Amino acid sequence: MWWTALRNESVKILAKPRSYLGFLAITLLVGVILLALALDGKSYIEFVTSSLQQSLTVEGSMLNGYLVGFIVLQMLVVHLPLLVALVTGDLVSGEAAMGTLRNLLTRPLSRKGLLLSKYGAAAVYTLVLLLWLGIMAVLVSPWIFGVGDLAVLSNEGLQILPSEEVLPRFLQAFVVAFAALYTVACLSVTLSCFADNSIGPIVGTMATIMVFTLIGTLDVALFDQVRPFLFTTHMAAWRSLFLDPVPWGDILFSMVLLGAHWVLLIGIGLWTFERKDILT
């Protein structure tokens, strides 16, 4: 029955116009980024390498599709959580507001099964959205700009990765990015269990991300203990896949922590939903 419920959720997500907003937004945003880099990418690169160029020169084109793809991913890490929450925050509370939740909950389907199917649908949606971003970043960008070594800036400096290693790293990065985004999805679905309208969970999710990000950014000793355990601290863990060598230990820690968030959030959602009075 869980698969049937998941299928039903997928039908609903596919039919909702709101679901396509995220794809449209990604297409437009990536389009803008690609256009900007096509027109002025060289000066962007020169800004990075100006200090190097006093006594060194970079042979080959740093501005290639892989770099553009990496820039696209970095820029959209801020926007993707909102695009995810826009749909997943509506999964329970939207139905409550519409009145269709009572139709579903009077079927011979357990509340737990129904809610788990919504978490499953949220996972599918997040994955598809990320895949679309991946197609735009890792397929369309190289198609326009060509491929080559990937030059990545980080706290550690400039890393230049051989082009043959880049695609596998992107794939791994998407897995880690999915883990982070799905945490956002789980948060919004869980908040959705407490509300009878969609706006609350969406705003609540974004507010949580903003507050946690702020805590992660402020250099206050009080927050040092908490910071490693905030999921927002690990939302950019995918970037570690582009370090050389890859800090697998740190990435594993991030994945475990994000997985723990899934379990916690889904647990809270299930507990709440099982006991919730459906008044709408």
- According to CB under 8 A, which residues from 33 to 92 bind other proteins? 44, 47-48, 51-62, 70-71, 74-75, 77-78
Q: Is there a contact between 165 and 171 (Cβ–Cβ < 8 Å)?
A: no
Options 4-12, 133-141, 169-177, 184-192: segment touching other proteins (CB under 8 A): 4-12
Start-end of H helices in 135-162: 141-145
Closest approach of other proteins to the CB of residue 48, in Å: 6
Closest approach of other proteins to the CB of residue 19, in Å: 10
H/E segment holding residue 157: strand 157-161
Q: Is there a contact between 64 and 58 (Cβ–Cβ < 8 Å)?
A: no
32 binds other proteins (CB under 8 A): no
Q: Is there a contact between 130 and 174 (Cβ–Cβ < 8 Å)?
A: yes
What's the CA angle centered on 272, arms 124 and 93, to 5 degrees? 55
Closest approach of other proteins to the CB of residue 195, in Å: 17
Residue of 34, 84, 235, 241 that binds other proteins (CB under 8 A) = 235
Give the x-and-dash track for 92-131 against other proteins (CB under 8 A).
------xxx-xxxxxxxxx---------------------
Closest CA relative to residue 163, chosen from 175, 147, 179: 147
As a whole number of angstroms, the distance between CA 177 and CA 81 comes to 11
Residue of 217, 256, 263, 267 that binds other proteins (CB under 8 A) = 217
Residue of 24, 244, 248, 252 that binds other proteins (CB under 8 A) = 244
| Of residues 166 and 189, the one with the C-beta less far from other proteins | 166
Closest approach of other proteins to the CB of residue 155, in Å: 4
Taking CB under 8 A as the criterion, which residues in 124-163 touch other proteins?
A: 148-149, 151, 153-160, 162-163
Structure tokens at 88: 């997943």
Give the x-and-dash track for 170-209 against other proteins (CB under 8 A).
----------------------------------------
Q: Is there a contact between 119 and 189 (Cβ–Cβ < 8 Å)?
A: yes
- Alpha carbon of 187 to those of 53, 62, 177, 184: distances in Å? 46, 38, 16, 5
